[in-house]
Amino acid sequence: MARRFSTIVGALAGALVIGGCASYHPLPLAEQARLADRIDDIRHTLPGPAPGMDSPTIDVQKPLSVDQIGLLAILNAPQLLTERGEFDLAQGRLIQSSLLPNPSVSLSYAALLGGPGTTGAYVASLSQDIASLLTYRTRVSAAHAHVSQVNAELLWKEWQVAQKARLLAVDLYWGERSISSTEAELASISEAASQVSTAVDAGSLSLPALAPLLASKASAEHALASLQLTQLTNWQDIDAVLGMKPNVRFAIDEPRIPAMPANIDALIASIPARRPDLIALQLGYRSADENVRGAILGQFPAFVLGGAWNSDTSDVRSAGPTATFDLPIFNRNQGQVARTRATRRLLHEQYQGRLDDSVSSTLALQARSSRISDYLVKARQDAAAADSQAQAARKAYEQDNLDQRALADYETTAIHRRLDVFDLERGLDEARIALALELGLGLPSTRMAPPDSVR
């Protein structure tokens, strides 16, 4: 009966051990790229604000705002597909740090081959590493801080991807406006050049009258080609960020960037509590500080405590405690202490440098935004005046009071003034978007990238 009971207990113990083991599952690599052919094919449903609540959807058939394009980038950017793996890796390190070392069991048997003995000798011992228990709390605290650090770093990565997409959207919108104005300029100059050329052929104008128009036409053609090439590059870049093929196009709404915050000084003071990269550095420093504590506790020598049971060949049995420990003569964990302290110091300086850089960048962007706003007021006034002059010139030309060459000059000036406004509008939008990022405003406070990479 006892033997049967032991067999059942052994079988159950074996089943429990096998059941707790991990099993292998293959994870094959992709055989082809997963780039979307249309914007409808990418993810455009945002995570719900809370469990059980409806998930909002971005209507990709309408012109997309700059912020919507940033959110779409977070949901679809191929470079964010590694988020799940990075976070799982940090979670795995946490699990490893939370595990205690297994007890050690030693069993031996010596058969009696001769002599005065009467039976075989048995030795059994059970021991546990005690030194690892001293550093358990610091290891777990450091691992928890590291998991939070990775989460904050991944959120910052999402913010950077959204920032890139938003800036590209601004460039594409104003780039399209600039291309349209430059095409209008080129059409005006081409019309003037054609009319002057006809007059030269008829002998009513001399050939030198055509040269300035041809030079202006060549300059406009060069500017248009440069703008179109930049626009093509920006489209390819934003398609790559959104996980689409480089020939996909969609409508972009006029950027509506919020005004300069009124409480800029208070926002600058609270940057460390909002910026994910600064929060990640704070958590990394906390983890490094716990590692320093663990290294100091690790100065205590390795200590293994247990018990042993012995039976010799004369059937004399004995039992008692056992202790094994190192003599800290050569290695007192001073190398690990020095390394963890240096790591903590490095993170301390990195945090200070990042904080100084963020405040400096914020102040610079604030000044840049204010200066561009001042320039923009005058540029709009100049553009309005140039448009009025061009309209007056057109009326004078229709009444034969102005020649074609002078009309082309007025219209070209008006277009150049309009292009100046577009450039300043673009610069102001970019400065305001960058300022919002530096202040940690206008973007999700939690991660949004999907947990898996399957569309």
**87: CATH:** 1.20.1600.10
Q: How far is CA 390 from the centre of its chain?
A: 48
| Residue 37, amino acid | D
Buried b (16+ CB within 10 A) or exposed e, 385-406: ebbeebeebeeebeeeebbbbe
Say yes or no: 318 and 425 in one domain. Answer: no
Domain count, the chain: 2
Say yes or no: 130 and 261 in one domain. Answer: no
4 lies in a domain?
A: no
Say yes or no: 354 and 216 in one domain. Answer: yes
Tokens of 220: 């406009």
- Domain span at residue 377 reads 60-99+139-297+337-448
Answer yes or no: are the C-beta atoms of 198 and 132 closer than 8 Å.
no
Answer yes or no: are the C-beta atoms of 141 and 328 closer than 8 Å.
no
244 lies in a domain?
A: yes
- Predicted confidence at residue 68, as pLDDT, reads 94
Say yes or no: 66 and 175 in one domain. Answer: yes
Say yes or no: 228 and 341 in one domain. Answer: yes
Answer yes or no: are the C-beta atoms of 71 and 58 closer than 8 Å.
yes
75 lies in a domain?
A: yes
47 lies in a domain?
A: no
Per-residue pLDDT 10s for the chain (455 aa) are 444 544 554 555 555 555 557 778 888 888 888 899 999 999 988 887 667 677 789 999 999 999 999 999 999 999 888 887 888 888 888 898 888 888 888 989 888 887 787 888 888 898 888 878 888 888 899 999 999 999 999 999 999 999 999 999 999 999 999 999 999 889 888 888 888 888 888 887 777 777 888 888 898 899 999 999 999 999 999 999 999 999 999 999 999 877 788 889 999 999 999 999 999 999 999 999 999 988 888 887 778 888 888 888 888 888 888 888 777 788 888 888 899 999 999 999 999 999 999 999 999 999 999 999 999 999 999 999 999 998 998 888 878 788 777 888 888 899 999 999 999 999 999 999 999 999 998 888 888 877 654 44
Say yes or no: 219 and 273 in one domain. Answer: yes
- Predicted confidence at residue 2, as pLDDT, reads 42
121 lies in a domain?
A: yes
Say yes or no: 414 and 279 in one domain. Answer: yes
- Predicted confidence at residue 159, as pLDDT, reads 94
21 lies in a domain?
A: no
Residues 6+ apart with CB under 8 A from 410: 386, 389, 390, 393, 394
Say yes or no: 67 and 205 in one domain. Answer: yes
Say yes or no: 326 and 280 in one domain. Answer: no
Say yes or no: 128 and 261 in one domain. Answer: no
Tokens of 371: 């200066």
- Predicted confidence at residue 262, as pLDDT, reads 83
> Pick from 137, 117, 185: which is nearest to 390 by CA?
185
Answer yes or no: are the C-beta atoms of 97 and 136 closer than 8 Å.
no
Other CB atoms within a 10 A radius of the CB of residue 357 amount to: 11
| Spatial distance between the Cα atoms of 187 and 189, rounded to a whole number of angstroms | 6
Query: Cα separations (Å) of 252 from 256, 355, 437?
Result: 11, 34, 21
Residue 16: phi, psi to the nearest 5?
-65, -40
- Predicted confidence at residue 74, as pLDDT, reads 93
| Spatial distance between the Cα atoms of 364 and 57, rounded to a whole number of angstroms | 36
Task: Tell which of 332, 350, 384 closes a domain.
Answer: 332
DSSP letter at 45 equals B
Tokens of 438: 């530096």
Global pTM reads 0.83
89 lies in a domain?
A: yes
Say yes or no: 173 and 313 in one domain. Answer: no
Say yes or no: 223 and 344 in one domain. Answer: yes
Chain position carrying tokens 């601004």: 170
Query: Cα separations (Å) of 259 from 23, 256, 420, 432?
Result: 56, 9, 21, 8
35 lies in a domain?
A: no
DSSP letter at 329 equals T
